[in-house]
Structure 1
Amino acid sequence: MPPAAVTLQNATVGTSSPVEQLAPNPVFLSTEPGPEFDWKISLRGKVIAITGANRGIGLGLATVCLANDAAEVYSLDLFEPGEEFQALANANPKRLRYLHCDVTSEENVLKVVDDIVAESGRIDGMVANAGMTKHQPALKFDRPQLEQLFNLNVYGAYFCATAAAKKFIELGIKGSIVFTASMTSYRPNRAAPSAPYGGTKGAVRNMAHTFAMEWASHGIRVNSISPGFVRTQMTYYVEKAADWNLKMQYYGGMPRLADPRELGGAYVYLLSDCASYTTGIDIPVAGIVGAW
């Protein structure tokens, strides 16, 4: 028997051995699925909240969540829904709902999360997606513009994540939180630079890692998605530029903008129980990453 084995064997004998004096194992809520889990990537039975889902990326994510059997999807948005939202709601009766929410107000976010649980009995996922950008040289930003970006993109995401985490812990739910970060959290956008926007998304991506570490013992998973160029009201003009095709020849990657729904598969995976051992990561979904 090797000396190490003898030492270990001797250490486990007696009532005052070093092994017995170690601190007890911490109690944690495991995310591991039970024996009856069918391993299908699905949101069946889940109640998902998505901030800023009345249009753009958020509406695309709501579409894909519903297509993957989410029981209910709530859009938490500051603005009233438009025709696209209403069309999706009509196609999914009683499964898509809108709640007015200012994510920059912690009190408002906490109330809305309470309202979701009051209406649906639970909440399983929070997608902190609402955000804004402003593209201009760094030296042209003033303090109010900076505060507007950070209030929505950073503080708003923080309030949504912490409100959801508190409710998950209160209800004993193995919840999932997904942030919408950005490829600008990795590198600058040469086509439309915005140092403050990239800074806010870098903060979001780091928060996901840290929250994942802090809340793992509660069975809460926290991740982020970093989209590339996506076709929304904020970016539609990009592919209309006269030099767009020329840029794509030199920069490589997929020479187009993404439909918002093309991001949805990554979010569905992270929100689903099939991602039970996935936390603290960022998934780039950026078909034209070479253009950044």
Structure 2
Amino acid sequence: MSPAATTPPEVLAPSNGADSANGNAQGEQLGETPVFLSTEPGPDHDWKITLRGKVIAITGANRGIGLGLATVCLANDAAEIYSLDLFEPGEEFQALAKAHPKRVHYLHCDVTSEESVIKAVDTIVEQSSRIDGMIANAGMTKHQPALNFDRPQLEQLFNLNVFGAYFCATAAAKKFIELGIKGSIVFTASMTSYRPNRAAPSAPYGGTKGAVRNMAHTLAMEWAKHGIRVNSISPGFVRTQMTYYMNKAPDWNLKMQYYGGMPRLADPRELGGAYVYLLSEGASYTTGIDIPVAGIVGAW
């Protein structure tokens, strides 16, 4: 086996003068190991999958999937959860906050505004002295034939699902770097980023989630040197205020026989284990991936 096959890529010397000049132009001397903040745990690391001591921000956590994720993060010992949401908390969120006093917080935030997101992240650090994880979950869908979409509807979808996710990721990453925290970012993508939703097609929605999933891969590559991990989760059909009607349709059972897989909608909390893993230090060598948690849809 050649030396190149056994030598870590980051310490391989450039192979020619052009590469050497390029490396030196980037501030690296020939033969020197690039500055790289490793996510490898220290010798005293507890290998239990846990969020103990971590402060996690979740966009859109006042209801739906985000609320379910907040519940599971708390069950896995997260120190504090912040819901960044445009809407005022409802009864379910208030009940969760009451059950976990001083651990659950709400911050009014419009994720389509970069300034609003930055302000929310700054507030988290001011109040809790740190931020360890960002779940960019807030999103919306609209199901109708592609030829029926107008420009304002498209802009609404892309502003929230794509630009909002990007603003949350970059605001969190900047704060991680500033504080020297090996942070984790998890996007909520969708199985429609892989394949169409035959039950309720929406080409623009699938396009936004495809953008989110690809963004996770690219940001993971860019930010690995800072010890920041970026991943995504692609849920299937989840029972929320936006999907509650689906299993009430008269042809629901027939559709489920056609799709195969698990013939039901998921409880939002059933997604939580995947998010907890990606947010935890147990996933210290996991970045740039998407985990489908899809039940029915994965069987298409």
TM-score in terms of structure 2 length: 0.90
Which secondary structure state, in structure 1, belongs to the residue aligned with residue 57 of structure 2?
strand
1:76-155 aligned at under 5 Å gives the runs 76-155=84-163
2:290 and 2:169 mapped to 1: Cα distance? 16
Q: Is the 8 A contact 1:222 1:280 kept in 2?
A: yes
Q: Is the 8 A contact 1:251 1:290 kept in 2?
A: no
What is the number of residues matched between the two proteins? Answer: 277
Which secondary structure state, in structure 2, belongs to the residue aligned with residue 209 of structure 1?
helix
1:134 and 1:291 mapped to 2: Cα distance? 23
Q: Is the 8 A contact 1:75 1:98 kept in 2?
A: yes
2:272 and 2:206 mapped to 1: Cα distance? 22
Deviations 1:250-270 (A, max 9, x none): 221000000000000000000
Deviations 1:224-243 (A, max 9, x none): 00000000000011111111
Runs of 4+ in 1 over 6 A off after TM superposition: none
The residue type paired with residue 111 of structure 1 is K
1:266 and 1:177 mapped to 2: Cα distance? 13
Deviations 1:179-208 (A, max 9, x none): 000000000000000000000000000000
The residue type paired with residue 251 of structure 2 is D
Among 37, 54, 73, which residue is 1:65 paired with?
Answer: 73
Among 255, 259, 267, which residue is 2:267 paired with?
Answer: 259
Q: Is the 8 A contact 1:252 1:290 kept in 2?
A: no
Q: CA deviation at 1:23?
A: 4.2
1:164-175 aligned at under 5 Å gives the runs 164-175=172-183
User: Over alpha carbons, which structure has the higher Rg?
Assistant: 1
Gap change, CA 1:32 and 1:290, over 3 Å in 2: closer
- 2:47 aligned partner: 39
For structure 1, the residue ranges without an aligned partner over 5 or more in a row are 6-17
Q: Is the 8 A contact 1:128 1:177 kept in 2?
A: yes
Cα RMSD of the aligned pairs, angstroms, is 1.6
1:132 and 1:261 mapped to 2: Cα distance? 19
Which secondary structure state, in structure 2, belongs to the residue aligned with residue 242 of structure 1?
coil
Which secondary structure state, in structure 2, belongs to the residue aligned with residue 165 of structure 1?
helix
Deviations 1:56-109 (A, max 9, x none): 000000000000000000000000000000011111111000000000000111
1:23 and 1:290 mapped to 2: Cα distance? 46
Identical aligned pairs, as a percentage?
88
Which secondary structure state, in structure 1, belongs to the residue aligned with residue 134 of structure 2?
strand
- 1:205 aligned partner: 213
1:83 and 1:75 mapped to 2: Cα distance? 14
Which secondary structure state, in structure 1, belongs to the residue aligned with residue 41 of structure 2?
coil
Q: CA deviation at 1:34?
A: 0.6
Which secondary structure state, in structure 2, belongs to the residue aligned with residue 239 of structure 1?
helix
Which secondary structure state, in structure 1, belongs to the residue aligned with residue 262 of structure 2?
coil
1:195 and 1:291 mapped to 2: Cα distance? 20
Among 284, 293, 296, which residue is 1:285 paired with?
Answer: 293
Q: Is the 8 A contact 2:236 2:298 kept in 1?
A: no
TM-score in terms of structure 1 length: 0.92
Among 158, 166, 183, which residue is 2:191 paired with?
Answer: 183
- 1:239 aligned partner: 247
Deviations 1:153-185 (A, max 9, x none): 000000000000000000000000000000000
- 1:216 aligned partner: 224
1:130 and 1:140 mapped to 2: Cα distance? 24
1:245 and 1:124 mapped to 2: Cα distance? 42
